[in-house]
Structure 1
Amino acid sequence: MSEQAADTHFDLARFVLGYLAQTGGIVAPAAYGVYETLLPDDLAARLGTDAYLNLRFDAEDSAPGDDSLRLSVNHPLVDRIAAQLLRPEANSQVFINHLRLDKKGLLEQAEKSIGIANARITQKKGALEEQALHHYLRFNFKVTFVSDEKQESLSAVVMDAQNGYAITDPQHLQRLYSTETTAGYPYMSVAPSRWLGADAIDAPTTYQALLARAQSALEAQLAPRTTAMQSRIQRFLELDQARIQEYYDALESDLRRRLERAEESESGRGKGAQEKLVALQAERAAKLIDVRVRYQLRLEVELVNVQRIVQPKVILPVEIGDRRLTVTRTVVWDPLMHRLEALVCAVCGQPGDQLHLCTGGHLAHETCLSPQCIDCKREYCQLCA
């Protein structure tokens, strides 16, 4: 056998036995060419086979009394193993542990670093710093750009489940990577969602709403790439349209010359040339439509899986108010990033500095406010208007 053929040879025994061993099975050679395997019950159930198997991979027929199972490439068990490997990765959960949570003085730090343009942050009576678990959801998407060619890639969007917005800070995203699957704070309670319209933190409706926001964030994330691809596609479309026009212009010019000669000679061929000219114009229009359809850019997004990231933080309820109104909000210390989290605008759902307290009790960016009332000078956000 040549060296190239040896490199490309598919080793079925290595494929099957390697999979069984890596998924918790015990594999041992029982005799020459025969392997004894003991599978976990759940793995045997997924593969639809017995937990105890004797496997052979040679091409010879079994000897009398040999109860071993001979596998080939097209055997149903091999097909089920391949299907397991091709199955999308399951959802997962990881934990961020070993953080310092003994943070004090959140109120003083909030008064210094969080600015409310028209209100003050004050202490809520009886409120103390507490430790609570917070969740991030990493939505992994398969993104496909379809036009004259097909491009596929994987993109991820990390959503803050308590605050309802996408994390875009590269340093923050980097620190959220974790491989720890054991909870470091198993008895700590989970903080509730703080964004407008959210249900319980683990409710399906909350996850669906976060998925919709993640898809919107993904569109914004892909916008530069989409714009660049549209520019490239437009350039190639114009080149193809010019090529088609040039080709059919030449054919039409030739047919018109024939039509003129036929009319001058009165040979009776003018009718045929005229029909060909009409057909040529219809063919040109069809080709131009086809090339426009082929160069249309279409974006397809498919959710692959979700990873939940669990991290403890320190929270403190505070009051934000002016002479007319006081609302309660939560100040959050992130020990992973060593900073206070910004408060969130109720209108656009994004964090920000120098938010305004509207008369309806919402915090909003200046750009998310409605025009101020001329008579009473009160500020209303776009949710209240």
Structure 2
Amino acid sequence: MALATSRHHALRDFTLHFFAAFGAQITQRDSDSAVWVDLPETLATHFGKPGLHLTFQNGETTPHTDLVAYGSRLFDQMMDFLERRGGVTLLQLPRQHQGADQLLRAIQPRNVAVLGLKLEEQQHRLFVFNWHITYRSDDKREELYPVVLDSDGQRVALADEDEKGLVLQKLLIDGEPLPVENDEQGAPASVRLPPMTHLNRLAESARKYALYHADVRCVTFEADILPRLHKVLSRLTSYYEQQIGEVYDSHDPQGEKRRVLEDDLQRKIGEEIENHRLRVQVELFSYAILHTPTAVANITLGDGKQSVMVQISRNLYTGVLSRPTCHACGDEIAALVLDRAGHVLCEECLRQCAGCREILCDRCGLHGCPVCAEQLCEECSRYCWSCGLRACAEHSSPCPVCTDDVCHACQEECAACGIRQCRAHLRMDGVTGDLICCRCAVRCPGCQQDSSHLATCSASGQRYCTGCIVTCAHCQRLVGPAFVTIDPADGRAYCADCLTACPGCGQLVGRGNEYRCQECGERCCGHCALRCQTCAAFLCPSHGLRCQGCHAALCQEHAARCELGGEVLCSVCDALCPGCGYSHCADHTAACSLCLQVYCAACVGESGECETCREFPSRYGEIVMADEPIAADAR
């Protein structure tokens, strides 16, 4: 509904503008929506009557009214008149503003002086291309879409697209015919048009904008077409399905009638889809060339080293002032600055080199030093061949290995000698993880890692890194990993001179890992010697004992024995019988079946009862455990 209303208003506005532009008298009545138009002679001849009674709704049409709608006879007559009269229009826009004072005050040079000034008035052209766009589907819609370009092919915004844009209707109303010039014979000369190649190039550019506008409008139109297509297809499908359902099997045993109806349905569906397919035609209806008076000032600026010319122009019709644009950001500028390369800049885009103090712009190549972040030009900075950035002279130096200029962000000092060079030439120290140079790095024969922290093996004379070389636990000499033995008894390293064979087991052990038996005085080592867990005395295998229960080492003095089996027991595994008071092991332990007290096996007879429980009935009578209070306890 909203779309139909907007289309109605657009067509009404177009029709009123059409007749008003060609001098017709328009009368609108408040009582109805009809419009009375008194036509001038030219329009009366074209339309075949002196006046028109216009209406824009089908419901208001009478024999005495003229309907204006897309595709109507009157609308086609209007388009035909425009096509005949408006093919090419040449207009001169009037001068409504003064330009000299505004041009002189348009810019304020900051670091340059004005060396020259030239004022002139030029005629700039605006090209208005009117495109006739036709949308055809099950209905027909038409529109005129204007595209305005300048001489460079840049689009000029109109008021319906931008608030600051041009009002095309006002331009055409204010425009005046070009003055007629006479040739050498005094006859009126023909108007000179721009070269056809230039017009073709501008028309192609304008056509792209028209096609884009048509694509956008097609989205709205297709959304309006789809419901209508769906309604038509639903009606067709329902009708043919009803026809097919009314065909009896007895009347159509082979199904030919039903197949004919189905084929007819598919054919009509295809026709309706094709009829509702949206087709767009874009044609150049007319074009106009508007000559715009423009005041131009060519100003030559210089700073003593270089000079540059800037141009300022003012449209004398609209009063719009065009200043030079910033080389960096592209915005128009009033406060103007000239950089070392001759570029015109605004104050926000100027940059100053920290080295030579010259003014440059962002595009001229100011580079931040990767170390100190100072902004420098190419002449005051050095290119780093490693990272590709540019650094200041203080933080850039040649690499002593490859001789390339490299910034200090890509270099590192050797942790051993302190010489700065490319990080790619340094190696990691296998001991400390620092970076060291090739001269200071030595390959360790033990771990095959480079390091500058080295020590000499006292056995072989080779140099090992401090991570691989070992100190002998006995003599404290430095020994390489290939000339050292780890004693498993204490886990310490010994050199070959500090190893000896144990007379007891024959194992090679360190000299600091030899002991003597407390009982017999024989030499033993950490492999074969036993150490009493009670007194910590060392014992040879012949005099050392082990607990039957926990296998702990014991000497003769601190070893207890089971009175029943003679097993060796430590103080932890030794249990005293509460009946006889003798030691017994776990294998000779028994519990009374009545009181559950633990005794040695000798104190618990074959009946499974202790002596106290066996004598209790004869003295105090028989005990029934089920009748005792303890039987009620679930525990």
| TM-score, reference length from structure 2 | 0.32
Q: Which of residues 114, 117, 137 in structure 2 aligns to 1:147?
A: 137
Shift of 1:88: 1.4
Checking the alignment, whether the CA contact within 8 Å between 2:134 and 2:143 is kept in structure 1 is yes
Q: Taking structure 1 as reference, are residues 134 and 335 closer, same or farther at Cα in structure 2, changes over 3 Å only?
A: same
Asked whether the 8 Å contact 2:130–2:144 carries over to 1, the reply is yes
Post-superposition offset of 1:183: 4.3
Q: State the SS of the aligned residue for 2:240.
A: helix
Cα distance between partner residues in 1 of 2:277 and 2:105? 56
Residues paired across the two proteins, number: 245
Q: Tell me the distance in 2 between the aligned counterparts of 1:336 and 1:146.
A: 40
Is the Cα–Cα contact under 8 Å of residues 315 and 333 in structure 1 kept in the other structure? yes
1:252 aligns with 2:252: no
Given that residues 342 and 353 in structure 1 are in contact (C-alpha distance below 8 angstroms), is that contact kept between their aligned partners in structure 2?
no
More helix by share: 1
Q: Post-superposition shift, 1:133?
A: 0.7
Counterparts in 2 of 1:236 and 1:203: CA distance versus 1, 3 Å? same
**Contact 1:135–1:162, Cα closer than 8 Å, also in 2:** no
Summarize the alignment of residues 29-40 of structure 1 with structure 2, pairs less than 5 Å apart: none
SS in 1 for 2:84: coil
Matched, 1:307 2:302: no
Q: Equivalences for 1:48-67 in 2 at 5 Å?
A: none
| Sequence identity (%) | 19
Please show how residues 1-385 of structure 1 align to structure 2 within 5 Å.
88-89=84-85, 90-104=87-101, 106=103, 109=106, 126=116, 128-170=118-160, 172=166, 173-177=168-172, 178-183=174-179, 202-223=194-215, 225-255=217-247, 258-259=248-249, 262=250, 269-271=252-254, 273=255, 275-316=256-297, 330-341=311-322, 353=331
1:322-345: per-residue Cα shift (whole Å, max 9, x none)?
xxxx9987543223332234889x
RMSD: 4.9
> Counterparts of 1:130 and 1:152 in 2: how far apart (Å)?
44
Larger radius of gyration: 2
1:134 CA drift (Å): 0.5
Q: CA deviation at 1:163?
A: 4.8
- Cα distance change of structure 1 residues 224 and 250 upon mapping to structure 2, 3 Å threshold: same
SS of the aligned residue for 1:92 comes to strand
Question: C-alpha displacement at 1:215, in angstroms?
Answer: 1.7
CA distance in 1 between partners of 2:311 and 2:153 (Å): 11
Report the Cα distance in structure 1 between the residues aligned to 2:291 and 2:215, rounded to whole angstroms: 30
Instruction: Find the aligned partners of 1:306 and 1:291 in 2 and give their Cα distance.
Output: 37
1:44 match: none
What is the CA distance between 1:165 and its match in structure 2? 1.7
* 214-223 or 135-144, which deviates more: 214-223
Distance 1:311 1:174 in 2: 15
Segments of structure 2 that go 5 or more residues without pairing to the other structure are 1-40, 47-79, 183-192, 302-306, 334-342, 344-386, 391-635
Change (3 A) 1:148 1:309: same
Question: Is the alpha carbon distance of 1:124 and 1:245 closer, same or farther for their aligned partners in structure 2, counting shifts above 3 Å?
Answer: farther
| Counterpart Cα distance in 2 of 1:246 and 1:102 | 73
SS at match of 1:132: strand
Q: Is the 8 A contact 1:101 1:131 kept in 2?
A: no
Per residue, is there more strand in 1 or in 2? 2
1:149 is displaced (CA, Å) by: 1.7
Distance in 1, matches of 2:308 and 2:240, equals 71
Q: 8 Å contact 1:319–1:327 — kept in the other structure?
A: yes
The structure-2 alpha-carbon separation of the partners of 1:336 and 1:87, relative to structure 1 and needing over 3 Å to count, comes to: closer
Q: State the Cα distance separating 1:111 from its structure 2 match.
A: 7.3
Shift of 1:291: 0.7
Structure 1 Cα separation of the partners of residues 211 and 111 of structure 2: 36
Amino acid at match of 1:253: G
Q: How far off its partner does 1:18 sit?
A: 7.6
